A = this chain, B = another copy of it.
Amino acid sequence: MLTYSFSDRGHESLYEYLYQCIRRDIIHGTLSPGDRLPSKRSFAKHLNVSTITIENAYAQLLAEGYIDSVPKKGYYVADISWDMQKTESPAEAGSPPAQNNGFAHASPGTAKEECFADFSSSQTHPDTFPFSIWAKLLREVIADSRAALMENPPSGGILPLRQAISGYLRQFRGMDVAPEQIIVGAGTEYLYGLLIQLLGHGKIYGVEDPGYQKVFWIIQGSQAACRHIPLDGHGIRIDCLEQSGAEIVHISPSHHFPTGIIMPISRRCHLLGWAAKDDSRYIIEDDYDSEFRFMGRPIPSLQSIDSLGKVIYMNTFAKTLASTVRISYMVLPMHLIQRFYREMGYYACTVSNFEQYTLTRFLQGGHFERHINRMRNLYHSQRDLLLGCLRDSPLASRISITEEDAGLHFLMEVDTDAPNAAIMERAKAQGLRLAPLSQYYRQGCPAKEHTFLMNYSSIHPERMQEAISRLCRVFEGLPLAEGGSK
């Protein structure tokens, strides 16, 4: 049986150390595709650890696609080879999260209409922003850095902020990124615009279907061609990507929006293989909410396993800090960053120096890390509160919940025959906003007609019970689906 010594474990938890040992053996080929892993109980006894430790390690490997689970048989090492010819079998989506970016489709100058609870928005709740510490750091910056505040930064942003982001990525995402590779900008939308200019308007871009619609709009708005690429249960389908003629593909592999699929390592490798086939091919990795995974370790980024300079990594502080503080960043491969400064160095950085320096201190002082931990706990308990309210409600028998382990939303499928439009209308009358999963599909939602994204980040805990009571009234009297209830 597999044997690992825990003597070199250091500060890591048992499960995490074990996960890394097995992962390393799979990557190095010591464990081959198809190899069966020991059963949890026997492996636990063998290594003299608890079953929970084994369970957690397996769950992490499973989530990242290093192993497969065959019901009633056990766990098997997955095929993570770089073979790109492997056929992808379309399957049901695996697991889901959310990125609304909470923008308002406002008519000129008007405020949003009154709404009791907005399950469609992932806008940050005002109470969660670290106002005191932010104000304190701002004061310090204004007191200490007057000259620096007035100096025009390079296009990519002030160097100390890029250094702090580089350090953060190294520590929390295991990414080895030079500060010079980072470009800071006022929102990912703005960065997409820069990127399209850099990569070329004449290129064909591919986006996930379902996916984050705004990316499609921005690419189309920039007059570049954009294709929708369908997913299977492992993420974007490489065969469809090949057929589409797309040269650049935008994905969120660590936590797909809105389905929550975590792209397994095999698909990631296929995707890198796809990119390697042509110089003009690139992958844009949107890692928008990797910080909010409730179970296990964060999923490693695609960028961190890319040795060919094919991945452009994007992330934002809009989710982790506040959507109204407009700071996002992207990491470009070295050859692209050089081209950026050569061809587009005339663009001024769009983020105010005041906020760049404040965020730098926020990162340097460990405040960001503490804030993320607080937020993760908060969202975790928000999720539990919402799940609890649903479980105790009359709806409980009509709904099934999936993808509740990460991000700021889960998926709720409701057993009903009523059309989504009618449900949305009834929700509106109750002061609720709902986002049906189907609205994120371009080419028709394969199933899950009555599945809704349930964002919980913006809903005040005191309103949760009442919000769910109203939700029950939305579905009250609506017919069940033919074929009966759950």
Contacts and interface: CB of A to CB of B under 8 A. Distances in A.
Interface of A: 101-111, 123-126, 129, 131, 134-135, 138-139, 142, 146-147, 149-156, 159, 162, 178-181, 186-187, 189-190, 193, 197, 201-202, 214, 217-218, 221-223, 322-327, 337-338, 341, 344-355
Contacts of A349: 326
B324 A352 contact: yes
Contact of A147 (B105, B126, B151, B355): B126
Most buried by B among A103, A131, A134: A103
Nearest to A101: B348
A106 B345 contact: yes
B222 A222 contact: yes
A142 B152 contact: no
A106 B179 CA distance: 14
19 contacts: A105-B341, A106-B155, A109-B162, A110-B154, A123-B152, A126-B147, A129-B150, A135-B138, A186-B326, A187-B348, A187-B350, A189-B347, A197-B221, A214-B346, A217-B346, A221-B344, A326-B352, A350-B350, A352-B352
B351 A354 contact: no
A323 B123 contact: no
A109 B156 contact: yes
A205 B297 CA distance: 51
Given A347-B189, A355-B352, A108 B150 contact: no
Given A104-B345, A109-B180, A150-B323, 14 more contacts: A108-B338, A109-B154, A109-B159, A123-B152, A126-B151, A138-B138, A152-B323, A152-B324, A153-B324, A189-B347, A201-B223, A217-B346, A324-B353, A350-B350
A347 B102 CA distance: 11
Nearest to A340: B108
Contact of A150 (B124, B354, B355): B124
Contact of A324 (B149, B154, B193): B149
A440 to B, nearest CB: 14
A201 B221 CA distance: 9
Given A109-B154, A109-B162, A186 B346 contact: no
B346 A105 contact: yes
A322 B149 CA distance: 9
Most buried by B among A162, A181, A338, A350: A350
A202 B201 CA distance: 13
Contact of A142 (B134, B150, B187, B189): B134
Nearest to A121: B152
B111 A159 contact: yes
A330 to B, nearest CB: 14
